[in-house]
Chains A and B, each alone.
Chain A
């Protein structure tokens, strides 16, 4: 669906007209759908850098958008709609991490173990898995926000409270590390999980 208030630009960055939140608060289903379609992938990627788990990232993404719909009427326009969305996502992720720290997961049931194993197979030769493993938490966020979410370095610097120089440096260093990793392993670009 096309929307003029929320869309992904050609350079993969996200445009959101802040008045979309008023529309959502007023019950405009299409407005909310447009926001979801535009932002879901980015929010999911952002959450993944925190929880490092696809299931949790999916659940938290759902929570995030439900929260956005509930709180849309309270949004105060200040020129940074994505920052608000990422903040909500981040807060949910931190709550989840704190919960997991306080109450470590119980033993997996057989069903969830199978699911996890399948996921592990899928992630076996994925560069994203290595990115999460070999890079620091901050560097993962910087790389994902730029390479996957299409955010500009300046926006990332503002979001993460870093200087532009630091963000650029860290991004390039992280890519170098990943490039070395690519050199050492082969990565599937598509297809089914392999043994």
Chain B
């Protein structure tokens, strides 16, 4: 432990409460065992969506027994073979699908990848995304290459040109670890691509918790599943919000709203203040001109907050040794990824400026200039 860490601990010890006294209170307070988890304790364990995963689940009725499930499996296999031999079309991309990745800037797009992290499908969820994808053929392309190509296209079309840009990256995968890895890699792709042109990207990452209604909902609103899930979380915090209005908002605006509800952390103070709680300059019809012509690809100037570890930082103080943190640990107490359990509250903050169901959805460009604040 270095000097600063030691002093932090000593300093912290001075403001610790009397834990024994608190324990006495806890011990004496009766609590009833919960029967159903509420939003405070609910664990968000992603649902697996292997096409045949239902065979592993307990069911009632004729397929509840092992014999019944085996019979069903045989029947399905037979049907599959018949389909193949009779030339009936099977959606092979679905069978091979491993992960769904949604990227929302203002363009809203989804990528489907297989086990080898190759793109099998790219779906533009709105017109902006269609323009980004254009005639790019990304099928069978490595995911990282595809993402970088899409980022390049976004830059070319005038997106991501603010000093601070917010991107929503949402991943649904059967493998939770893989989902996290994909999220982090895409975050690095955005960060490093924008660092080259002296811009910053704040990437909000989330796991998509699949349910049958999410896909349908997102299609109805013409947005990605990731954006839909983000909106649903906002709605769970404040049911008075208008879902149509939220669906029309850019990610910047949604992020600012989410910060007000403490759904995501407040902006780092090192970020440009223009991103905090203010309107976005992004408008659907008013894209900024690409600055690509002005940027010098040879420019090696790094952002102060770029996520790059330099040897200077590491060796500046010999007491700053955290080498043990880089070794693999055997104990299994690693924490989960993003904390995405939200607490229910019926005490929605009230403010005359809050969006509510009575307001007409304001879909014109003026909406992007209206500040949303909480008193």
Q: Which residues of A contact B (CB under 8 A)?
A: 9, 11, 13-16, 25, 29, 33, 36, 40-41, 44-45, 48, 54, 57-58, 61-62, 65-67, 69-76, 78-84, 86-88, 90-92, 94-95, 97-99, 101-103, 119, 122-123, 126-129, 131, 136-139, 143-144, 146-148, 151-156, 158-161, 163, 165-166, 168-169, 171-173, 175-176, 178-179, 182, 187-190
Contact B343 A155 (CB under 8 A): no
Contact B334 A128 (CB under 8 A): no
Contact for B15 among A40, A101, A122, A139, CB less than 8 A: A122
Given A67-B41, A127-B7, residue A159 in contact with residue B336 (CB < 8 A): yes
The interface size of chain B toward A, counting residues with CB under 8 Å, comes to 78
Contact B34 A41 (CB under 8 A): no
Main secondary structure of the interface of A (DSSP, over half): helix
Q: Which residue of B lies closest to A131 (CB)?
A: B8
Contact for A126 among B11, B29, B180, B324, CB less than 8 A: B11
Interface residue B85 (Cβ < 8 Å from any Cβ of A): no
Contact B33 A14 (CB under 8 A): no
Which residues B259-273 have CB closer than 8 A to chain A?
Answer: 261-262, 265-270
The 7 closest A-B pairs by CB, nearest first: A161-B338, A83-B336, A91-B343, A159-B335, A102-B349, A83-B335, A71-B41
Contact B184 A163 (CB under 8 A): yes
Which residues B293-347 have CB closer than 8 A to chain A?
Answer: 307-309, 313-314, 316-317, 320, 322, 324-325, 329, 331-339, 341-343, 345, 347
Q: Which residue of B lies closest to A91 (CB)?
A: B343
Main secondary structure of the interface of B (DSSP, over half): loop
Interface residue B89 (Cβ < 8 Å from any Cβ of A): no
Question: Which residues of chain B come closer than 8 Å to A144, judged between CB atoms?
Answer: 8, 12
Contact A91 B40 (CB under 8 A): yes
Q: Which residues of B contact A (CB under 8 A)?
A: 1-5, 7-12, 14-17, 19, 22-23, 25-27, 29, 31-34, 36-37, 39-41, 43, 45, 180, 183-184, 187-188, 205, 237, 261-262, 265-270, 307-309, 313-314, 316-317, 320, 322, 324-325, 329, 331-339, 341-343, 345, 347-350, 374
Q: How far is the CA of A154 from the CA of B30 in the complex (A)?
A: 37
Subset of 28 A-B contacts with CB under 8 Å: A11-B324, A15-B331, A29-B27, A36-B23, A36-B26, A62-B25, A71-B34, A71-B37, A73-B34, A76-B43, A78-B45, A87-B336, A87-B341, A92-B40, A98-B347, A101-B349, A102-B348, A103-B347, A128-B12, A136-B266, A147-B5, A148-B8, A154-B334, A155-B334, A159-B335, A159-B337, A161-B338, A187-B7
Q: Which residue of B lies closest to A99 (CB)?
A: B347
Q: Within the complex, what minimum Cβ distance (angstroms) separates A144 from chain B?
A: 8
Q: How far is the CA of A6 from the CA of B23 in the complex (A)?
A: 16
Question: Which residues of chain B come closer than 8 Å to A146, judged between CB atoms?
Answer: 5
Q: Within the complex, what minimum Cβ distance (angstroms) separates A96 from chain B?
A: 10
Given A66-B31, A101-B349, residue A83 in contact with residue B268 (CB < 8 A): no
Contact B43 A123 (CB under 8 A): no
Given A80-B336, A83-B335, A147-B5, residue A74 in contact with residue B374 (CB < 8 A): no
Contact A91 B22 (CB under 8 A): no
Q: How far is the CA of A5 from the CA of B275 in the complex (A)?
A: 46
Q: Within the complex, what minimum Cβ distance (angstroms) separates B232 from chain A?
A: 17
Q: What would 14 more interface pairs be, CB under 8 Å, given A98-B349, A102-B348, A127-B11?
A: A13-B331, A40-B23, A48-B15, A67-B40, A84-B41, A123-B15, A136-B268, A160-B339, A161-B205, A161-B339, A172-B314, A178-B4, A179-B317, A182-B7
Q: How far is the CA of A99 from the CA of B317 in the complex (A)?
A: 42
Q: Which residue of B lies closest to A78 (CB)?
A: B45
Contact A169 B313 (CB under 8 A): yes
Contact A95 B345 (CB under 8 A): yes
Contact B339 A159 (CB under 8 A): yes
Q: Which residue of A lies closest to B5 (CB)?
A: A147
Question: Which residues of chain A come closer than 8 Å to B341, judged between CB atoms?
Answer: 87, 90-91
Q: Within the complex, what minimum Cβ distance (angstroms) separates B163 from chain A?
A: 17
